DNA sequence: TCCGTTGTTCAAAATATATTGAACTATTGA
DNA sequence: TCAATAGTTCAATATATTTTGAACAACGGA
């Protein structure tokens, strides 16, 4: 039992950016990073959304090549593919994670009008 | 005559990532960077899409805070807000642009099945 | 002033993404 | 074996984003 993950050269930049260009998924990645890349499981993210919806977002992150999902008994362990991503896109994840960590999500109020 | 741009602290990460998570817009940014941040105008991107559609994408990039659009006579000059973005999200744009430049867009064929 | 150039805006249609609830699967522990 | 746990899948809906064409606006030069 193991889930499909893209390998390094199958990871494409705009996919990665699109995957991270969503508040929920960015929050997931941010928490994973804050957790020092120690794998986490689904229920630790329940505050972000419903189980079903998280499942969807986890799949997106996995398919984009951002996270690794390992099956462990009845639960799944999710971690960042940090080293690999850094090889593929040097500096990218670090820059994102760094920012996402300090900025607690600036309230996205309309800036025009 | 000048267009509305967000200022630094109004630029938010997931917006920026979402804006760049689109092949067309990533290609625009990539060309701007390849052009050494010298402002370019719309017709220089016509190979990427139709005028109308480019207009839409340019607005997205501008509203996300990624590009600066200056009105100059009958045309508009578009440039990267590189220094500013780098202040807001250190390393981010560099990492993206660097990658987008060398990788000529890996053909996005399905990696499963 | 009239025309061509350079783009924009609008509304409609096409497409893609996100969210939900109900039903399901796999594994573990009693 | 049975129930609880942890999470997935499916189909439907809701929502957002892209794309298009037709009509418009601003500027500059003849």
- Which tens digit of pLDDT belongs to each residue from A13-34? 999 999 999 999 999 999 999 9
Residue A111 tokens read as 């800036």
Evaluate if the CB of B112 falls below 7 Å from strand D: no
CA dihedral A25, A33, A74, A71 (to 10 degrees): 90
Give pTM, 2 decimals. Answer: 0.91
pLDDT the model gives residue A1: 61
Counting as low any pLDDT under 50, the low residues of chain B are 105-109, 111, 113
pLDDT at A106: 47
The distance between the two most distant Cα atoms of chain B, rounded to a whole number of Å, is 53
Residue B109 lies in a domain: no
For residue B44, being part of any structural domain is answered with yes
Q: Which of B14, B88, B98 sits opposite A21 (nearest CB)?
A: B14
- Would A1 be classed as within a structural domain? no
Three-state secondary-structure class, residue A63: helix
Contact between residue A54 and residue A47 where contact means Cβ atoms under 8 Å apart = no
- Let me know if residue B3 belongs to a domain: no
| Residue A112 backbone phi and psi in degrees, to 5 | -110, 175
* CATH number, domain containing residue A91: 1.10.10.10
Indicate if the pLDDT at residue A90 is higher than 50.
Answer: yes
**B82 contact to strand D (CB, 7 A limit):** no
In chain A, the number of structural domains is 1
- 3-state SS, residue A1: coil
B29-43 pLDDT, tens digit each: 999 999 988 999 999
Q: What is the pLDDT of residue A100?
A: 79
Rounded to 10 degrees, what is the CA torsion of B92, A27, B14, B106? 60
Which residues of chain B lie closer than 8 angstroms to A91, CB-CB?
91, 94-95, 98
In a domain, B48, yes or no: yes
> Which residues form the domain of B60?
8-102
With beta carbons less than 8 A apart as the criterion, state whether A94 and A101 touch: no
Q: Is residue B89 part of a domain?
A: yes
CA of A14 to C1' of C9 (A): 28
Tell me if chain B has a CB within 8 Å of the CB of A21: yes
With contact defined as beta carbons under 8 Å apart, do B13 and A26 qualify? Answer: yes
3-class secondary structure per residue, chain B: CCCCCCCHHHCCHHHHHHHHCCHHHHHHHHHHHHCCCCCECHHHHCCCCCHHHHHHHHHHHHHHCCEEEEEECCEEEEEECHHHHHHHCCCHHHHHHHHHHHCCCCCCCCCCC
Kindly state the tokens that stand for B3.
């267009």
- Is there a domain that residue B112 lies in? no
Q: Each residue of A63-78: pLDDT tens digit?
A: 999 999 999 999 999 9
Is A88 part of a structural domain of the chain?
yes
């Amino acid at each position: 039992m193991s889930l499909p993950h893209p390998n390094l050269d199958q990871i494409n930049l705009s996919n990665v950016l699109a995957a991270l260009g969503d508040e929920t998924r960015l929050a997931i990645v941010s928490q994973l990073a804050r957790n020092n890349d120690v794998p986490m499981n689904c229920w630790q993210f329940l505050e972000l959304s419903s189980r079903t919806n998280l499942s969807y977002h986890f799949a997106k992150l996995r398919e984009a090549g951002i996270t690794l999902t390992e099956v462990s008994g009845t639960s799944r362990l999710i971690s960042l593919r940090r080293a690999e991503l850094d090889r593929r896109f040097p500096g990218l994840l670090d820059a994102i994670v760094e920012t996402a960590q300090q900025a607690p999500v600036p309230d996205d109020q309309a800036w025009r009008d």
